[in-house]
Structure formats: C-alpha cells, structure tokens
Amino acid sequence: MTAIEDYLSRVKNLPPAPRVLPELLKLLRSPDVDADKVVHLIKYDPSLTVSVLQLANSAFFGSARPSEDLGEAVTRLGFQQVYILVAAVSGARNLTPEQKGYGMATGDLWRHSATTAVAAQLIAKDLDDDVDLVFTAGLLHDIGKVILSDTLESTYSVIVHETSQNRYSLLDVERRVLGFDHAEVGGRLLAKWNFPANLTAAVEHHHQPEKAGAHARLAAYAHVGNLIAYSVGQGYGNSSYAMEPSSAAFQILGLDEDSLPNYMMRTLDQMNVIEALFRVKT
C-alpha cells in the first residue's frame, strides 16, 4: 500500500462522490442524447431537481410560464446548460465548506474551482475542445484539498511561513509536510469514485500537465484555468505563493501566454453570471 492509499484508507468521512457526473458525461457523449435518461439520472437527487427547475424558471432564461416538469426544464435549458448546472451543484456540496488547513473561508474553494472551470471552458470553446469534460476537470482539480485540509490544519503556521518567507509553492510544502500533495490525493479520490481515466489523470497532474501522458491536454486545461483563477484573485487562502505556472501547459494547448489578460476578463464576466444564478437558486 502506498503512502497515499494508506492515508486515504485512514481518512474518516470521505466526501460523498458526485456520482452523477461521470454517468451524465457518458450519456451526453452519445450521438443521440436521450432526454429521458438525463431526467432519470437527475430526478432521484432532490437538490439537483430543484436547481434545474429553478434555473429553467429563472428570469435568466426569460420564462413566461413556470415549468414544474423536470423533462420540460431539461429541454428548455439544453443539455449543456443542464450539465454545467449539475456539475456546479454537485461540486458545490464538496467544495463549499470552509477549508481551515488552507486558510480558506466558506465558499472560497468553490469559487476558486468554479472560476478555474469557467476559465478552462472558455479556452476549450475557442480551441474547439470538449467543453463539458474540460469544465469538470477544472471544477474538480482541487478536490484533494477537501481531504487534506483537516490534516494540514495543525501545520497551518508552517504553510504560511514556508510559502511567504521561503518561497516554497503550496505543492512543495504539502510534499515536505505529508510526503504527497493535493493533486495526487485528488486523482486517487476520483479513481476511487470510478471517474474515467482522463479526469483522474487531469486532476492528478494539473500542476505538471506534461506528466499526464495521453491526457496531458485535459490536464493543461485544468492548469491554465487554475492559473487564471489565481490571476483574478480567487483561491489563495493562506498560501501567498500559490503555484508555479507551466509553460508546457501553454505549449500543449497551443495557447499564447499573452492571451491570459483577455481570458481573465472573460472569466470574470462569466463568473458574475454564474454567481448571480447561484443567488437566484438559493
């Protein structure tokens, strides 16, 4: 048993798996998406059902007549909108709580993750890649932090000191303190949840996408999305030195580094819409 497997086996209360995501992704990959099957996946989850209905009935979609039928709501929103909403709501359950070990207040990790997902998705759309898959990789890239936060709480001052005074990246500090990092833990957690290999690899290697083998492109999206989220000020917590940008990630995507400011602005615009939708929902 490796150090991570041993660690994960000892963690009490692992977060609940967002099981619906890999199944929904698979469903939406098929050439003829079956709306009934999409409804079937969502309808057993009350909070997802409520979210889809509320969004379909929100002013954002300009609905004159409220829909009480999930099937109608799914059709009205469109599969992609439904997927993004389901991913955001499922992710929010795990990512919203306070992460004390990282100095992140309630909502901080969710906001950082959603910003990463939105940024990565905007780039994927421009580069004609799979936006749903990229959004999911971005949303879940830091899921390992949910697991490590409790453990790191006792070493909070070490993290602050090592990142701000000694200029170690957060990833390096985790490796020095624990022997492994949040990216590796996140990848293992997704594997444990039976997520597909591409998402597992993208999360595990989001800090060094070139090491993700066949899934380097997806990992590069998570990396650049993460970089943009930090660049617009989302998700530092107590670590002042957040990450080491990888020029390999830009090369893998064929993306010009000078495009970063433009994507920062577009991401902020999109996040305003998403946060407004979440306010509508709650």
Partner 1 sequence: MGLVVAAYDPGSHVGGLFHALLPDTNSNLARAKDKPCMFLESGFETLQLALLASGAVATRLRYYSVGGAQVMGASTNLNIGLKNTDALQRLLAARGMKLTNLHLGGHTCRSFYLSIETGEASVLLSGQLNEIML
User: Which residues lie near partner 1 (CB under 8 A)?
Assistant: 103, 157, 160-161, 163-164, 167, 169, 227, 230-233, 236, 238-245, 247, 257-258, 260-262, 264-265, 268
d(CA 12, CA 266): 39
| Residue 41 near residue 24, CB atoms below 8 Å | yes
Residue 256 Cβ, how far from partner 1 at the closest point, in Å? 9
Q: Which CB sits closer to partner 1, 53 or 148?
A: 148
Among 153, 43, 140, CA closest to 94: 140
Closest CA to 245 of 211, 219, 208, 199: 208
Q: Which residues, at least 6 apart from 52, have a Cβ–Cβ distance to it below 8 Å?
A: 42, 70, 73, 74, 77, 82, 85, 86
Q: At its nearest, how many Å lie between partner 1 and the CB of residue 60?
A: 20
By C-beta, is 191 or 243 nearer to partner 1? 243
Question: 89 vs 227, which CB is nearer to partner 1?
Answer: 227
Nearer to partner 1, 80 or 262 (CB): 262
The smaller minimum CB distance to partner 1, of residues 63 and 231, is found at 231
What is the C-alpha end-to-end distance of the chain, expressed in Å? 43
- To partner 1, the closest distance from the beta carbon of 233 in angstroms equals 6
> Is the Cβ of residue 195 or residue 250 nearer to partner 1 in the bound state?
250
- Shortest Cβ 248–partner 1 spacing (Å): 12
Q: Which of 81, 91, 15, 80 is nearest to 47 (CA)?
A: 91
Structural contact between residues 132 and 152, judged by C-beta atoms closer than 8 angstroms: no
Rounded Cα distance between 148 and 155, Å, is: 11
Distance in angstroms (rounded) separating the CA atoms of residues 98 and 102:
9
Q: What is the closest distance, in whole angstroms, from the C-beta atom of residue 239 to partner 1 in the complex?
A: 8
Please report how close the Cβ of residue 238 comes to partner 1 at its closest, in angstroms: 5
CB of 206 to partner 1, least distance (A): 14
Stated length of the chain: 282
**CB-wise, 91 or 235, nearer to partner 1?**
235
Closest distance to partner 1 from the beta carbon of 97 (Å): 20
Distance CA 51, CA 282 (A): 9
Instruction: Between 93 and 161, name the residue whose CB sits nearer to partner 1.
Output: 161
Provide DSSP, 19-51. THHHHHHHHHHSSS--HHHHHHHHHT-HHHHHH
Tokens of 132: 């749903």
